[in-house]
Every structure is written in C-alpha cells, then in structure tokens.
C-alpha cells in the first residue's frame, strides 16, 4: 500500500497569540515555533500503522508551507514516514487554493513514485479550523473520500474505515485509491527514538517548485482566494469575572447559586 499524508505546520498553540496582518487580513504565523497540526499527527500515525500491517507499504508526507517546515517534515521521517516533500506555496491561499496546490503536488510526485493507494489528511487544522482541504483535495483528485476516520484496515486493495458520525460510528468500505481524513484516534502518535531522530536530521526533504506544478498563479494565494476576508477585528473580551474565595464550600456554593439564579441560568 502506497500512502501519502498531507501535513500542515501550525504555530505552536501553547505559545501562539493570534494577530492579524491588517493589509492582507491573514494571520501572522511567523515568530512562533512550528509544530505539526495535531490531527495530522493522528493521520500520520494511522498511516504508519497501516504501513506496518501491509507488507511492502510506504508512507510519504507532503506539506505546503514556508521553507522552515523542513524540520517538521524531518520529525515526520523520525516517526515512520519514508519520504518527505515540501511545496512552498503562495501565502494567503484559501482552502480551495490549498487543495489545488496539494492535488498538483501529489500528481507530480506520482509521476516518479507511482500512484498512491491512500491519501491521509487530518480532519482539520487547529489554526485555520475549517476541515475543508481534505474533501476539496479528494474532489480535485477525483477520489472517493471517507472523513472523520478513527481506524482503518486493509485487505488487498479494499480499505475499511471506521467513521465518526452522529455520536456513533459507521463502517465504510472503499476500494483504493481513496482519501481519508483522520480525527482523534484511540491511540496517541508515537515518539521518535534517539536513533530515528538523529537519522532524520540528515534525511532529505524534497522540494517541489510551485511553477513546476503547473498551477496558475492567479487561482491560488491571496489573489485566487474565492472567499475574501473583508474585515478582521479583535472583539472586546466580555468577561467581568466574579471570583468567590470563601473557604466554606456550602457558603461558596450558595453564593454561586444566587448569582446564577439572578441571571436565570438555573
């Protein structure tokens, strides 16, 4: 099974302070350490587990980002990915533009590496938070999709995915090639070993040139965004914050209950 996982580098949510570039009306991501989007980490782990269950499988990773995403891709190589690709995209691409670039990049990689059987994405990023890139990418590649996947298994070219839906699950069967978006799994992504991490620091990351992908520059980036951000603002924080510090739990509960009752919240 030949697998490729689309991963995104996002500003570390532990440290990120959201600020807007007033001219482009896009997020300023620079200046914060980059980490892998958490759902992409689950997607990579699922892909690597699938690889381990089917002999002769490979996992590639692909990111569209700024050049500094190289180190995130090397970390992917230290936890089970075999090959990494980086396409330096134009900034300001919306989900439609991003999916177009990723689709062209995957086709380009397939020219040399052969066709992929499974494409994995995280269900959404935790900075953009739309979840639109996966399904849009599947459409551009004309592939079937299964979203919100928590588990997957393969028998020959037939893939069976467990999909989260309506607080329950569905088992969905699809023949490869297909695209899957991955939500939180029951397991956590593995950590690199010292040896795998050291090896990954020397591992190559293949750069893909946007021009070489045959993407019309007008259809991507800020210029090609189909949904245009017309205004951004930082709304006032409304919390007044009454803090009850009396020591007696009964008294504290009574005070809180009174406040909630006054606001008709009980």
Partner 1 sequence: MEEYKNFWAVVELADGKPKGVGFELLNPGKQLATQKGEKVVAVIIGKNAGAVAAQAISYGAGEVIVVEQENLSEYSTDGYTYALEKLVQKYKPAALLVGATNNGLDLAPRLAARLNTGVAADCTGLSLDEGGNVVWTRLSFNGKIKAEAVCRNFRPQIGTVRPGVFKRTEPDTALKGNVIKENIDLPANLIRTRLVEKIAPETSETVDLETAEIIVTGGRGLGKAENFSIIRELAGALGATVGASRSAVDSGWISHDHQVGQTGKTVQPQLYIACGVSGAIQHLAGMSGSHNVVAINTDAEAAIFKITDYGVVGDLTKVVPELTKVVKEIKEKNQ
Contacts of 251 (CB under 8 A, 6+ apart): none
Confirm or reject binding of residue 178 to partner 1 (CB under 8 A). yes
Taking the least distance from each CB to partner 1, the nearer of 53 and 165 is: 165
Helical (H) or strand (E) element with 155: strand 145-155
Which of 173, 178, 166, 181 minimizes the C-alpha distance to 43? 181
Of 47-55, 105-113, 163-171, 191-199, the segment contacting partner 1 by CB under 8 A is 163-171
Q: In the stretch 113-142, what mask flags binding to partner 1 with x, by CB under 8 A?
A: -------------x--xxxxxxxx-xxx--
Q: Are 183 and 150 in contact (CB under 8 A)?
A: yes
Q: What is the distance between the alpha carbons of residues 161 and 1, in angstroms, rounded to a whole number? A: 15
Distance CA 238, CA 31 (A): 28
Quick one: which of 111, 171, 194, 218 contacts partner 1 (CB under 8 A)? Answer: 171
247 scored as a contact of partner 1 (CB under 8 A): yes
Q: Which of 107, 184, 190, 206 binds partner 1 (CB under 8 A)?
A: 184
Q: How far is the CB of 69 from partner 1 (least distance, A)?
A: 20
Report the residue number, 71 or 169, with the smaller CB distance to partner 1.
Answer: 169
Residue from 22, 56, 168, 214 in contact with partner 1 (CB under 8 A) = 168
The residues near 39 (Cβ < 8 Å, ≥ 6 apart) are 122, 123, 124, 125, 126, 181, 182, 183, 184
Report 54-93 residues binding partner 1 (CB under 8 A): none
C-beta closer to partner 1: residue 68 or 251:
251
């Amino acid at each position: 099974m030949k697998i490729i996982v689309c991963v995104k580098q996002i500003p570390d949510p532990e440290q990120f302070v959201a600020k807007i570039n007033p001219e482009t009306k896009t997020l300023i991501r620079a200046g914060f350490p980059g980490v892998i989007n958490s759902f992409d980490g689950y997607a990579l782990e699922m892909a690597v587990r699938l690889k381990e269950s089917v002999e002769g499988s490979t996992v590639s990773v692909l990111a569209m980002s700024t050049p500094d995403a190289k180190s995130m891709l090397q970390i992917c190589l230290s936890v089970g990915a075999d090959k990494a690709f980086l396409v330096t995209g134009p900034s300001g691409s919306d989900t439609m533009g991003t999916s177009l670039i990723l689709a062209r990049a995957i086709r380009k990689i397939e020219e040399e590496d052969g066709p992929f059987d499974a494409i994995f994405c995280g269900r959404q990023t935790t900075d953009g938070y739309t979840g639109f890139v996966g399904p849009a990418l599947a459409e551009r590649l004309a592939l079937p999709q299964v979203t919100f996947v928590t588990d997957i298994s393969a028998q020959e070219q037939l893939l069976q995915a467990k999909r989260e839906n309506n607080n329950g699950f569905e088992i969905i069967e699809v023949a490869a090639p297909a695209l899957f978006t991955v939500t939180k799994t029951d397991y956590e992504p593995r950590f690199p070993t010292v040896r795998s991490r050291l090896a990954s620091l020397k591992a190559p990351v293949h750069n893909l040139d946007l021009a070489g992908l045959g993407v019309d520059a007008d259809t991507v980036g800020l210029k090609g965004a189909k949904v245009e951000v017309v205004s951004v603002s930082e709304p006032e924080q409304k919390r007044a914050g009454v803090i009850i510090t009396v020591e007696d739990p009964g008294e504290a509960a009574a005070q809180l209950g009174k406040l909630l009752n006054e606001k008709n919240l009980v």
